[in-house]
Amino acid sequence: DQSNLAYSVGITLDRFIKLKQSDFPFASGELSQLLRDIALAAKIVNRETNRAGLANIGGAFGQTNVQGEEQQKLDVIANIRFMRALSKGGEVCAIVSEEEDAVIDLKNNSGKYVVAIDPLDGSSNIDVNISIGTIFSIYRRKTPVGSPITEADIMQPGNQQVAAGYVLYGSSTMLVYTTGCGINGFTYENSLGEFFLSHPDMKAPEDGKIYSINEGLEQEWEPAIAAYVRQCKAEKLQSRYIGSLVADFHRNLLKGGIYLYPATQKNPSGKLRLLYEANALALLIEQAGGTATDGHRRILDIQPESLHQRTPLIIGSRNMVEQVKGLIQSTP
């Protein structure tokens, strides 16, 4: 079929972006350039990730980030790489990053785009050689080009994303993205230094056999979540939890499944961040035919109120997510 043909002739990410440029809501070429900038930074981070053990750059850096978590050295490196790529290109006016306390105003008033990014998610997995990821969301600014950025440019709900994606640094490195017309996956060919289209037009199975949740926190869940997990066990579903959001999400997207990070006593709004973790994955899953909710609201419709706001996240195959929603809404 056409997708196999595309792969066999080797469609690179660059070429694909060019071919798809007319799909963009604002076909200016700048969004294409921005995606290419992100892909280039991803290649660099991929290289650093691959030699993390060798170059002795893994491990604690002795700093904590804004959430008070220990920051690994590779997080810092990834943050620097992406910041550089996003600020040099000229398309971006502001960046929100997990690693930065405040909005980075690039003072580039001609930039049309705002980017929210988690440069290296799942960083507790770096030192133990387990997959990690980059997650990014791209918004068009709300205020006119040429004026200073305002809060309205930054605090946009996920349904305003013009593009989103992730990079998975795993047994192979992949970049998966959407511009709102389906989602496509690219696998990195190390020796050629190119991403090639390997997963055209990805679709999330409507049902799945995998559930992913940190079961160690069971005593802190609300009853509906506990009831759902009991149901999963009664149906003998597979429990799979890497503890690296991008990797858990990617597996469930390909195989069919559900990922849950619900509210806990310690984190009453869940652990994951709306702006640079939940929103991008929510757009991707919807574009692939799945669903993402906080249990009550569509993730993409949540109006952000603060930069590092957390949200419960229930995401994946549509029927599984609907089942959880049903339980939450029917449990007093």
Binding of Mg ion at residue 248 (CB under 5 A)? no
Q: Residue 67 and residue 121: Cα distance in Å, rounded?
A: 13
Binding of ligand AHM at residue 99 (CB under 6 A)? no
Binding positions for Mg ion, 131-150, rule CB under 5 A: none
Binding of ligand AHM at residue 69 (CB under 6 A)? yes
- What letter does residue 59 receive in the DSSP assignment? S
Binding of ligand AHM at residue 269 (CB under 6 A)? no
The verdict on whether residue 166 carries a ligand-binding annotation is: no
Q: Which does 311 bind (CB under 5 to 8 A by kind): ligand AHM, Mg ion, none?
A: none
What are the two backbone dihedrals, phi and then psi, of residue 307, each rounded to the nearest 5 degrees? -60, -45
Q: Residue 211 and residue 323: Cα distance in Å, rounded?
A: 12
Amino acid code (one letter) for 108 = N
3-class secondary-structure state, position 51: coil
C-beta of 87 vs 97, nearer to Mg ion? 97
Instruction: Judge whether 318 and 291 are in contact, CB under 8 Å.
Output: yes
Of 242, 13, 281, which Cα lies nearest the Cα of 158?
281
Q: Residue 310 and residue 327: Cα distance in Å, rounded?
A: 22
- In the list 58, 89, 111, 122, the residue contacting ligand AHM (rule: CB under 6 A) is 122
Q: Residue 92 and residue 283: Cα distance in Å, rounded?
A: 20
The verdict on whether residue 305 carries a ligand-binding annotation is: no
Number of residues counted as binding ligand AHM (CB under 6 A)? 12
> What mask, x for binding ligand AHM by CB under 6 A, covers residues 204 to 223?
----------x---------
- In the list 71, 87, 97, 123, the residue contacting ligand AHM (rule: CB under 6 A) is 123
Q: Least distance from C-beta 123 to ligand AHM, angstroms?
A: 5
Q: Which of the stretches 74-82, 113-121, 197-205, 323-331 binds Mg ion when contact is defined by CB under 5 A?
A: 113-121
Strand ranges for 182-236 from DSSP E:
183-189, 194-199, 210-212
Number of residues counted as binding Mg ion (CB under 5 A)? 2
Instruction: Judge whether 319 and 237 are in contact, CB under 8 Å.
Output: no
A 10 A CB-CB count for 231 gives 14
C-beta of 65 vs 198, nearer to ligand AHM? 65
The verdict on whether residue 214 carries a ligand-binding annotation is: yes
Binding of Mg ion at residue 118 (CB under 5 A)? yes
Q: Bridge partners of 186?
A: 175, 197
- Residue that the structure tokens 């007319």 belong to: 22
The verdict on whether residue 261 carries a ligand-binding annotation is: yes
The verdict on whether residue 105 carries a ligand-binding annotation is: no
Which positions make up the binding site for substrate? Answer: 121-124, 214, 241, 259-261, 271
Q: Residue numbers of the site for ligand AHM (CB under 6 A)?
A: 69, 98, 118, 121-123, 214, 243-245, 248, 271
Q: Residue numbers of the site for Mg ion (CB under 5 A)?
A: 118, 121
Which positions make up the binding site for Mg(2+)? Answer: 98, 118, 120-121, 277
